[in-house]
A and B are shown apart, each in its own frame.
Chain A
Amino acid sequence: MQSGIIVVAVLAPLIAAAATVGMRATGLVAGRIVTSACGIATLASLGLVGFVAVDDDGRTGDVLGIGVDRVSALLLVAAAGTGAVVAGFSRRNVDDEARTTRYFALVGLVVSASALVVLPGGPIALGLGWLASGWALASLIGWQPGWATAERAQQRIRSTLAIGDAALVAALVVLWLADATGATTGEAAATDALANWSILGIESTHVVALLLVVAGASRSALVPFHRWLLGTLAAPTPVSALVHAGLVSGAGLLLIRFSAPFVASDVAVVAAFALGTITILVAAGASAMRSDVKGSLAWSTVGQMAFMVVQCAVGAFSSAVFHIIGHGMYKATLFLESGDTVSAGIRTSRRPRPTPIGPILRAAVTLIVPTALLAAGMWWITPEVSDAGTVLIAVFAWLSTAAALHGWLGRSPFAPAFAIASGAAAAATGVIAYLAGLRLLERFVSPSFVDTPVDTVIGPIVVGITIGLLGATVVALAAWPGRAGVAVRAAAQNRIDAIATGGVSASIRKQPSNRVDVATTTPDAARSAQIRADVARAGRIIAPLWPLSSFVAVNPVGGLEADGFDRAANDARRWLRGRTHLSLAQYRADLRDGLINEDNLIEAIHLRFMELCSGDPLLANGRVVHPEEIILTDLLHGPEAPVELVPRTALERLTRPASDEVALIDDVLSKWLTSYVSPPTWPFALPGESFTSMALRRARVDASLARVLHPRARTWLRSLDDDPTRVIDAAFALTQVGDEARVAEMRGHLASIAGWSGLAKWRTEWAQPDDTRQTVSPVEIVAVRAMLESGVAMTVSADFHNWRSGLDDDTTTLDEARHLAERVTSAMEHLGLPDVPALRPEITRLLEAIPDGERATAWLAASEANLDQRLLSLLDRPEAVRNVERPEAQLVFCIDVRSEGLRRHLEAGGRHETIGFAGFFGVPMRVRLAGWERPEARCPVLVAPGVDATETPDPDAVADLARQLRRSATNGGVQVAHGETKHVIGASFVAAETLGWLLGPLAAARTFLSRPRRRSRRPASTVLFDDGVLVEQRVFFAESVLNTMGLTQGFAPLVALCGHTSSTTNNAHATALECGACAGASGEGNARAVASLLNSPDVRFGLKERGIEIPDDTWFIAGLHDTVSDYVELLDTVHAPSSHEQRIEDLRRRLADAAGAQVADRALALPGPTGTAHARGADWAQVRPEWGLARNAAFIIGPRAMTQGLDLGGRAFLHSYDSENDPSGKVLETIMTAPLVVGHWISSQYYFSTVDPEVFGAGDKLLHNPVGTLGVLSGDGGDIRVGLPLQSTHVAGRRHHQPVRLVAIIEAEPARIEQIIDANPILQTLTSGSWIRIAARSRAGEPWSTRTPHGTWITTPEALREQRPATKQTERRDLAGVVGHLNMENS
């Protein structure tokens, strides 16, 4: 029976993998099958643990010579369990339909292959398992095709692993030759057999052991094989978890399996010890230099694996087993929850720093308590390993405990005595748990090591001395004073950086340079100023990038708005190398799918190419062909535009666009920027140093550059001083960029690293002045990049001084001519025209006048026209009868598209009225909630906050709040304690292997048993404007809010101001789902502050004087709409008068009903089971908790009566407006110049992220690698990502968002609208530049008119007014598009 269970445990995942591939299962089904199989394998492994536990020899089962012993049973549980968690996590995380099946099949293969490696079987089983797991892993890295970085990473992984594979195979061959294959199953006789055999005079024991060390070093990424592990960052997060959890511990697995022969070979043991020790040092340094989460985790793993090898080298094999399993679970969990870094960072920054314990006391406790605990612990529970192993345990357990205690004492919110006591208690628990766990494991696995000697050649003295020396070196390095110290540390950093980053792309060749003296100019102050101004001008190509702590949707080409959409798109394509429209094939597919009619297309052609269409028709063989026919045919059938990369900067002109040289520069620059802007534990920059200074310093010593820079270049670099404008001047002088070409060259530099340039632009032009983080400006980015390019240019070309200057050559290339000819041929073919000599030039002339950008825009205009038609005809109905009765409650929601559905469901009962208004509720404020260190801005980024509002707890809730805050602060302290174990060298080993045993089961619970969290009960409090805000100003705010809202009479007894938020977990882009009107944060503070304001008697009195009378029985209440679950929480209800209790209760019930209906609607469009849609936010594996503002299309300004009852599919921003209450037009102007502009930004963000997710969007979330709270990288490095992630706009490879530009639909006099546009340049830019369209009607019942970009109003033809939707069903599909097919499977 045991044999059967072994078969199940090993083969279940493999069979599942084969089955899914064979059945061609869909991704969803494959996920379920593989996860279940891994679950079954885990259960089977647990059963095996039971069996070996009761067996005295600790062995059981025999399947083709493969049995199970105690060690392998435990490892089997770990492998299968990790596979189950990763597969289960992937089910909600990986959703690319086409290749998901392959993904899960590979995961199943990895799990089964790992099982084979772990079990003591013959050499064939071991070899097979080893090779298969390596192959499957590399395939998983390159699982998504089309990304060069991933392909390169896959190559490196395959070649590095191949070395280890070869070594292992060689070792197995030697074993076979020596008739010692029993070593694979731990037979004692095998070791003797090996000793009796020799190869080339060397005892085969040494040969085999050394080969095993090499094989292990390669698989476990020890130096010099360390770089492949960093390459795994190019794989999805769950794959990283799988790799770091199990696969990477290959060295330990081998050395444990072959423990006897390994120990018998002193050479191998010493080699392993040396390799391990060196790797620990390098890894610690490299990890300290990384600011990105995954990078530092990966390096940490390298160090941990080295530690595991050291444990084996000193004979502490059971400790190594403990470490493999513990660390595996720890690392897997940390990788899987890497998305939480941004949110955790936000929470940390909000917590005030508690007063720390005095440094002397802290140091004393840190030194004394761990020593005492360990001495006592080890005396009580003495580890049963070699003496050397005991030394390891003692030292590293001490380091972990001391680091954790030190961190806790620095951040605990308690009084010193209690802090010390609690810290000591926790430390004691940890120490006991660790030692007890170790002992249990030692006892359990001892039968497996019966034939292994306890001690190795590395004795406790050697270990002690090694640790002592290393420790002394590290301390000396860190503490070395003065300039010598700085130099020494920098040198060490360079060395480690060189080892870590390794070689550079081989294809960069150096050429000897002529001796040419480059004149150094020193620009005067005026010239410097001009250079700065030019950088600002060049910076138009870059949109500001907000940090992820407060994501703000922006128009990615917003700097070019004044040029109009077409020109801006052209520039974006040329400089940013991004797609600005869908491809012709995609538009044509939309035509087939009914999203565009041919009529729309023809109309678009007439509008855009009016002059061409009015030209003479052509005559061919008696047939008359009109120009528009030709144009239409070209649009319907013509070939796609070729993609051509035009050089952006001097180096690209010298080499070629996107050359290896340029890629190298961008890699290095990104690395420096990441380190400077988000400093790691060991940053490159010296304290107080500017970015330019740091770059100049590093350029001389950076390892990757060193191989590329000619000595001449290095001399030139030394001559530069650190004023960025002078660097730019010198660099441009070198590369022959004249003054007139300067702006273009700067534009090229900024565009080459658009993400970091965007962040720099945000920081210098938009950030609040109190943002004190280290900063880089666009001038410095241009300076450093230009300097790097010049240096490399000097190296690769001898004649750099003979280049052409940097003016743009936009000459028609051969490719363009060929493309035009193809278009003409295609048009003639599809029209059935003969290729007569007279005809071709005519058609060529016609089509030449329509460049590719314009073809695409014609399609875009057609799809927009279709949308406009359907929307306007939907809205073209007689005015809904306005309810005369006083509504039970009025609810004011944010204009966000996500409120549309909820509002509709709420109003269905007929007793509630809803109003749309900007989610910051009209008062630009800073909010400080209870427990926050400092206030945060909560208003659109277009306006600066004017007043402060603070949350104060009610007198009877102070204790409650204090308790909550203390809990939160304790969490913070624990996190700092954990963080300290990661930062202090040597403190992470024992910490990781102990914590892992706790985190592993928690991760499994989170994956399989996640439930929506109940919101913690908030202590009663109020949010009020600060006392300094005088009554007059409060009244002014109140009046402006009510006026702009259009709510100046007819108040309901209950008026709810509902801000919105989105509660998600493990989501780096969480703030992208929050309220945009509050700058990427929750609208809670604003709702509460404004509600308090409007309830205040003083304010009401002042309002009455100004003509707005709020009835005494009206109460304003704040609400918070969670857009993931549609649950609206009513806030501050304890302060409501008792007369309103029942109303509030009724409203609550109504909101719950509406939420249920709305969630059910939304669930149809979300992949996965529909029943749990409301709980998606709590699921840490869920990559798509909600759709956010995807599918937004229109901004409707008018009374609710205009849209009431209509199902707009969640595609419209709804702002309430009544022109009759706005005689001066001021309210409409306010709406059009702020909320509408924000709506346009959001629309543009979604548009561009959809048409090019890689350039204008943030790409696949699975590859995201957070950097502090700033942003994410994709994979191991590179530019910081901009825009929305792929999963916000696409699902399973299909577009969910329809990329169209925003249409503003306004119920007001067109003349009034025209006035407002005339008075506001921003609106002129947006309308005449075709960024937004405007449709308007004076009042209900009038026909709709559309405004052309030139300012004429065209009334929609009568014919369209007849198109009335027949039924509710058609209504939904008309606007919402085809929703049904997006739901992949209801289960």
Chain B
Amino acid sequence: MTYSGFTPMARIEVVVDGEHVPTVRDLLLAAGATGYTALPGVSGFGHHGPHEGRLLFNDRNSLSMIISVVAPDRVEAVVAGIRQLLDEYHGVVFVSETHVSRPDYFQ
């Protein structure tokens, strides 16, 4: 589906433990992403059982989701590092196509 006036970009979503957010952030920024959004305290259910949501006094030991948008040619670089990380730690990464109206903002 194409939208007129919008540029196709790649959207990367990562769900990891709160304590790995800084590492994912570093990987994103070092690989060329210009920014990211972090949603702390998400809850869910997966291979390792249920995950509680937000804890009152602990941001590090609950799940976080990180969203970033990068140019399609950067995706491989960005995701390569995250995949390496997920070899060791629990988490998931999704890549999907999205469209933005200000492409220069993300490059």
B95, CB-defined interface residue at 8 Å: no
> Cβ of B51: which chain A residues have Cβ within 8 Å of it?
1319, 1321
> Cβ of A537: which chain B residues have Cβ within 8 Å of it?
84-85, 87-88
Q: How far is the CA of A524 from the CA of B81 in the complex (A)?
A: 12
B22, CB-defined interface residue at 8 Å: yes
A490, CB-defined interface residue at 8 Å: no
Tell whether, in the assembled complex, residue A1320 and residue B57 are in contact, meaning their CB atoms are under 8 Å apart. Answer: no
Interface members, chain A 926-961 (any B CB < 8 Å): 939-940, 942-944
What per-residue 1/0 map shows which CB atoms of B43-81 lie under 8 Å from chain A? Answer: 000001111100111111100000000000010111011
Q: How far is the CA of A1318 from the CA of B84 in the complex (A)?
A: 28
What per-residue 1/0 map shows which CB atoms of A911-930 lie under 8 Å from chain B? Answer: 00000001000101000000
Tell whether, in the assembled complex, residue B77 and residue A940 are in contact, meaning their CB atoms are under 8 Å apart. Answer: no
> Cβ of A62: which chain B residues have Cβ within 8 Å of it?
none
Tell whether, in the assembled complex, residue B17 and residue A530 are in contact, meaning their CB atoms are under 8 Å apart. Answer: no
A1234, CB-defined interface residue at 8 Å: yes
A1044, CB-defined interface residue at 8 Å: yes
Known: A765-B22, A1318-B49, A1321-B51. A529 touches B57 (CB 8 A): no
Q: How far is the CA of A944 from the CA of B57 in the complex (A)?
A: 9
Q: How far is the CA of A1233 from the CA of B61 in the complex (A)?
A: 8
> Cβ of A526: which chain B residues have Cβ within 8 Å of it?
76-77, 80-81
> Cβ of B57: which chain A residues have Cβ within 8 Å of it?
918, 922, 924, 939-940, 942-943, 1230, 1233-1235
Question: Closest CB-CB distance, B107 to chain A, in whole Å?
Answer: 14
Tell whether, in the assembled complex, residue B48 and residue A1321 are in contact, meaning their CB atoms are under 8 Å apart. Answer: yes
> Cβ of A528: which chain B residues have Cβ within 8 Å of it?
30-31, 77, 81
B52, B55, B78 interface centre (most CB from chain A within 10 Å): B55
Question: Closest CB-CB distance, A1041 to chain B, in whole Å?
Answer: 10
> Cβ of B26: which chain A residues have Cβ within 8 Å of it?
532, 536, 764, 777
Tell whether, in the assembled complex, residue B27 and residue A1233 are in contact, meaning their CB atoms are under 8 Å apart. Answer: no
A1322, CB-defined interface residue at 8 Å: yes
Known: A525-B77, A940-B57, A1233-B55. A533 touches B31 (CB 8 A): no
A1040, CB-defined interface residue at 8 Å: yes
What per-residue 1/0 map shows which CB atoms of A845-879 lie under 8 Å from chain B? Answer: 00000000000000000000000000000000000
> Cβ of A765: which chain B residues have Cβ within 8 Å of it?
19, 22-23
Q: How far is the CA of A1191 from the CA of B60 in the complex (A)?
A: 28
Q: How far is the CA of A867 from the CA of B65 in the complex (A)?
A: 42
Question: Closest CB-CB distance, B57 to chain A, in whole Å?
Answer: 3
Q: How far is the CA of A530 from the CA of B19 in the complex (A)?
A: 19
> Cβ of B17: which chain A residues have Cβ within 8 Å of it?
1321
Question: Closest CB-CB distance, B22 to chain A, in whole Å?
Answer: 4
Tell whether, in the assembled complex, residue A529 and residue B52 are in contact, meaning their CB atoms are under 8 Å apart. Answer: no
B8, CB-defined interface residue at 8 Å: no
Q: How far is the CA of A528 from the CA of B48 in the complex (A)?
A: 30
Tell whether, in the assembled complex, residue B59 and residue A529 are in contact, meaning their CB atoms are under 8 Å apart. Answer: no
Known: A525-B77, A528-B30, A764-B22. A942 touches B84 (CB 8 A): no
Tell whether, in the assembled complex, residue A530 and residue B61 are in contact, meaning their CB atoms are under 8 Å apart. Answer: no
A1252, CB-defined interface residue at 8 Å: no
> Cβ of B78: which chain A residues have Cβ within 8 Å of it?
529
> Cβ of B85: which chain A residues have Cβ within 8 Å of it?
533, 536-537
A1237, CB-defined interface residue at 8 Å: yes
Q: How far is the CA of A529 from the CA of B29 in the complex (A)?
A: 10
Tell whether, in the assembled complex, residue A1229 and residue B55 are in contact, meaning their CB atoms are under 8 Å apart. Answer: yes
Interface members, chain A 516-539 (any B CB < 8 Å): 524-530, 532-534, 536-537
Q: How far is the CA of A226 from the CA of B13 in the complex (A)?
A: 59
What per-residue 1/0 map shows which CB atoms of A524-557 lie under 8 Å from chain B? Answer: 1111111011101100000000000000000000
> Cβ of A529: which chain B residues have Cβ within 8 Å of it?
27, 30-31, 77-78, 80-82, 84
Q: How far is the CA of A918 from the CA of B22 in the complex (A)?
A: 26
Question: Closest CB-CB distance, A946 to chain B, in whole Å?
Answer: 10
Question: Closest CB-CB distance, A490 to chain B, in whole Å?
Answer: 29
Tell whether, in the assembled complex, residue A942 and residue B58 are in contact, meaning their CB atoms are under 8 Å apart. Answer: yes
Tell whether, in the assembled complex, residue B27 and residue A942 are in contact, meaning their CB atoms are under 8 Å apart. Answer: no
Question: Closest CB-CB distance, A216 to chain B, in whole Å?
Answer: 56
> Cβ of B60: which chain A residues have Cβ within 8 Å of it?
942
Tell whether, in the assembled complex, residue A527 and residue B58 are in contact, meaning their CB atoms are under 8 Å apart. Answer: no
> Cβ of B77: which chain A residues have Cβ within 8 Å of it?
524-526, 528-529
Question: Closest CB-CB distance, B24 to chain A, in whole Å?
Answer: 9
Known: A537-B88, A1318-B49. A530 touches B81 (CB 8 A): yes
Tell whether, in the assembled complex, residue B58 and residue A532 are in contact, meaning their CB atoms are under 8 Å apart. Answer: no
Tell whether, in the assembled complex, residue A532 and residue B22 are in contact, meaning their CB atoms are under 8 Å apart. Answer: no
Question: Closest CB-CB distance, A1056 to chain B, in whole Å?
Answer: 22
Tell whether, in the assembled complex, residue A1044 and residue B56 are in contact, meaning their CB atoms are under 8 Å apart. Answer: yes
> Cβ of B74: which chain A residues have Cβ within 8 Å of it?
525
Known: A528-B30, A529-B80, A537-B88. A1319 touches B50 (CB 8 A): yes
> Cβ of B81: which chain A residues have Cβ within 8 Å of it?
526, 528-530, 532-533
Closest to B84 in A: A533
> Cβ of B22: which chain A residues have Cβ within 8 Å of it?
764-766
Question: Closest CB-CB distance, A938 to chain B, in whole Å?
Answer: 13
Tell whether, in the assembled complex, residue B61 and residue A942 are in contact, meaning their CB atoms are under 8 Å apart. Answer: yes
Question: Closest CB-CB distance, B4 to chain A, in whole Å?
Answer: 31
Tell whether, in the assembled complex, residue A1320 and residue B31 are in contact, meaning their CB atoms are under 8 Å apart. Answer: no
Starting from the known contacts A764-B26, A766-B22, A1319-B50, 11 additional A-B residue pairs (CB-CB under 8 Å) come to: A525-B76, A526-B77, A528-B31, A529-B27, A536-B20, A537-B88, A943-B58, A1044-B56, A1230-B55, A1321-B17, A1322-B58
Residues of A within 8 A of B (CB): 524-530, 532-534, 536-537, 764-766, 777, 918, 922, 924, 939-940, 942-944, 1040, 1044, 1229-1230, 1233-1235, 1237, 1318-1322
**Can you list 30 A-B pairs, Cβ within 8 angstroms, ordered by A?**
A524-B77, A525-B32, A525-B76, A525-B77, A526-B76, A526-B77, A529-B81, A530-B81, A533-B81, A533-B83, A534-B84, A536-B20, A537-B85, A764-B22, A765-B22, A924-B57, A939-B57, A940-B58, A942-B57, A942-B61, A943-B58, A944-B59, A1234-B55, A1234-B58, A1237-B61, A1318-B50, A1320-B55, A1321-B49, A1321-B51, A1321-B61
